[in-house]
A and B are shown apart, each in its own frame.
Chain A
Amino acid sequence: MKHLLTTTGLPRETITALLDTAEALKQALLGRQVRKLPTLRGRTVVTLFYESSTRTRASFEIAGKWMSADVVNVSAGGSSVDKGESLRDTALTLAAMGVDCVVIRHPASGAAHRLAGWVPTHVINAGDGTHQHPTQALLDAATLRERLGTLNGRTVTIVGDVLHSRVARSNIELLITLGARVHLVAPPTLLPCGVENWGVQNWGVENWGVTVGHDLDAALPGTDAVMMLRVQAERMHGGFFPSAREYSINYGLTEARLGLLPEHAVVLHPGPMLRGMEIAHSVADSPRAAITEQVRNGVHVRMAVLYHLLAAQEEQP
Chain B
Amino acid sequence: MSPPSGTGAVGETGPPRQRELLSAAEVARIVARMAHQVIERTAPEPVTLVGIPTRGVPLAHRLAERIREFSGARPDVGILDVTLYRDDLRSRPTRPLRGTELPAGGLDDALVVLVDDVLYSGRTVAAALDALREYGRPRAVQLAVLVDRGHRELPIRADYVGKNLPTSRDEEVGVLLVETDGTDAVVIRRSQR
Chain B's closest residue to A42 (CB) is B90
B81 at the interface (CB under 8 A from A): yes
A13 at the interface (CB under 8 A from B): yes
B45 at the interface (CB under 8 A from A): no
13 contacts between A and B (CB under 8 A): A1-B94, A13-B1, A14-B1, A17-B96, A21-B97, A24-B99, A28-B100, A39-B85, A308-B1, A311-B94, A312-B94, A313-B90, A313-B92
57-72 of chain A: CB within 8 A of chain B: 67
A81 at the interface (CB under 8 A from B): no
A38 and B1 contact, CB distance less than 8 A? no
Count: A-B pairs, CB below 8 Å: 60
A38 and B84 contact, CB distance less than 8 A? yes
Which residues of B have CB within 8 Å of A206?
Answer: none
In the bound assembly, the distance between CA atoms of A1 and B93 in angstroms comes to 10
In the bound assembly, the distance between CA atoms of A80 and B98 in angstroms comes to 43
Q: A20-B96, A27-B100, A28-B84 are in contact. Are A1 and B90 (CB under 8 A)?
A: no
B2 at the interface (CB under 8 A from A): yes
B95 at the interface (CB under 8 A from A): yes
In the bound assembly, the distance between CA atoms of A32 and B102 in angstroms comes to 11
Residue among A13, A17, A24, A315 with the highest chain B CB neighbour number at 10 A: A24
B24 at the interface (CB under 8 A from A): no
Which residues of B have CB within 8 Å of A27?
Answer: 99-101
Neighbour of B94 across the interface among A34, A67, A307, CB < 8 A: A307
Neighbour of A28 across the interface among B1, B97, B130, CB < 8 A: B97
91-148 of chain B: CB within 8 A of chain A: 91-101, 130, 134-135
B98 and A312 contact, CB distance less than 8 A? no
In the bound assembly, the distance between CA atoms of A37 and B93 in angstroms comes to 19
Q: A1-B1, A32-B134, A32-B135 are in contact. Are A313 and B93 (CB under 8 A)?
A: yes
A24 and B98 contact, CB distance less than 8 A? yes
In the bound assembly, the distance between CA atoms of A24 and B53 in angstroms comes to 13
B92 and A25 contact, CB distance less than 8 A? no
Which residues of B have CB within 8 Å of A25?
Answer: 84, 97
CB distance from A80 to the nearest CB of B (A): 32
Which residues of A have CB within 8 Å of B92?
Answer: 312-313
CB distance from B113 to the nearest CB of A (A): 21
In the bound assembly, the distance between CA atoms of A24 and B98 in angstroms comes to 6
CB distance from B184 to the nearest CB of A (A): 27
In the bound assembly, the distance between CA atoms of A311 and B87 in angstroms comes to 10
Q: A32-B135, A38-B130 are in contact. Are A312 and B93 (CB under 8 A)?
A: yes
Which residues of A have CB within 8 Å of B89?
Answer: 39, 311-312
CB distance from A45 to the nearest CB of B (A): 16
In the bound assembly, the distance between CA atoms of A1 and B3 in angstroms comes to 13
CB distance from B91 to the nearest CB of A (A): 6
Residue among B97, B100, B130 with the highest chain A CB neighbour number at 10 A: B97
CB distance from A303 to the nearest CB of B (A): 10
A37 and B97 contact, CB distance less than 8 A? no
Q: A1-B1, A312-B90, A313-B91 are in contact. Are A21 and B96 (CB under 8 A)?
A: yes
B1 and A17 contact, CB distance less than 8 A? yes
Which residues of A have CB within 8 Å of B91?
Answer: 313
CB distance from A208 to the nearest CB of B (A): 25
Which residues of B have CB within 8 Å of A307?
Answer: 84, 94, 97
In the bound assembly, the distance between CA atoms of A312 and B3 in angstroms comes to 11
Which residues of A have CB within 8 Å of B94?
Answer: 1, 17, 307-308, 311-312
Which residues of A have CB within 8 Å of B1?
Answer: 1, 13-14, 17, 308
Which residues of B have CB within 8 Å of A20?
Answer: 96-97
